Amino acid sequence: MRTLFLPLMTASCPCLRFHAVRLPVLLCIMLFFIACAPLNGAAEEKPLPRSIVAGAIITPPWIMGTEEARTTGYCTAVFTEAFRRVQTRLITLPMTKPRLQSSLAKGKIHAVLCSSRSWHPNLTLPMAESLPVGQSGNIILMRRSSAVPVRSPQDLAGRTMAARLGYFFPAEYEEAFKRRTIRRVDVTSGLSGLHMLLAGRVDAVIMEENEAEWLLWQEKQEHAVVIVYRFSALTPLALLLSGPEQRLMPAVNNALRHMQQDGTIQALRTRYLQKHLESID
């Protein structure tokens, strides 16, 4: 009797028969919407309404290249997020300094990541500068086995020094390069200069200190070289905007302030800067 009770009761009662048929259908509909909820959420995320193209000089760990001819690293992450908060997509292109300056002058790009207006004295176009997100200083490295004390360019007279193409250094060193008291060898990256130093092809290299520390750590060559001179001047690292894009600077600076307050910048420092660089201000 018990096995026949439910079928008979359902057949004899239209109300129960309706619910018996509808319950599986409702259950299927609920499961369908639960399964599709993440897809619907992703579809609702709209693309950012505008974009801006920025040039970036590869200087790890601040800016690093990718296989897709774009950049990553601390500065890329900070300013990508800042622009996202002002509804703008940031597209970053790795460039040498000469190409970057040429692209700025021709209006092919309108932004420069982790730079300083003082680094582009030959550019006359107006550029707005953001709040700083770090600071940069230069050092001179020599192989530990052949290092000499350095207090002035005269201590390096007759030697060769690798230096980044298109970069300017303190006046006394520029004068030594001009007079060939120190023979300058231009390189396109800090890594190239460091490799030349380690291989004995140059006597010294002048490069950004944080980049040097990071590259030496990556190459496991921390003990092969020594800092023989540290330049006292430190340069704030910021975003540069040119042309009509300068109007975005107040909003970008406001985003940077909020990122500092909500811990985003500190989180990106922890993610991209190695432990020995986390104290950079």
pLDDT digits (tens, 9 = 90+) for 59-79: 999 999 998 889 999 999 999
Contacting residues for 49 by C-beta, under 8 A, at least 6 apart = 87, 88
Mean pLDDT of the 36-58 span: 69
Predicted TM-score (pTM) of this structure: 0.74
Distance CA(57)–CA(243), nearest Å, equals 20
Give the percent of the chain with pLDDT over 70: 81
- Per mean pLDDT, which range of 2-6, 18-22, 164-168, 174-178 is the poorest? 2-6
The segment with the largest mean pLDDT, out of 38-47, 166-175, 251-260, is 251-260
The confidence band for 40, taking pLDDT boundaries of 50, 70 and 90, is very low
Q: Which fold has domain 50-135+235-277?
A: D-Maltodextrin-Binding Protein; domain 2 (3.40.190)
Contacting residues for 268 by C-beta, under 8 A, at least 6 apart = 74, 77, 78, 81
Are the beta carbons of 135 and 75 closer than 8 angstroms?
A: no
Answer whether residue 54 shows pLDDT above 50. yes
Cis peptide before 61 (omega within 30 of 0): yes
| Domain 50-135+235-277 shares a fold with domain 138-230 | yes
Answer whether residue 93 shows pLDDT above 70. yes
**Per-domain boundaries in the chain:** 50-135+235-277, 138-230
Answer whether residue 39 shows pLDDT above 50. no
Amino acid at residue number 229: Y
CATH architecture of the domain covering 138-230: 3-Layer(aba) Sandwich (3.40)
pLDDT, tens digit, for every residue of 94-121?
999 899 999 999 999 999 999 998 888 8
Between residues 256 and 167, the one the model is more confident about = 256
Answer whether residue 30 shows pLDDT above 60. no
Between residues 132 and 1, the one the model is more confident about = 132
pLDDT, tens digit, for every residue of 145-159?
999 999 999 999 999
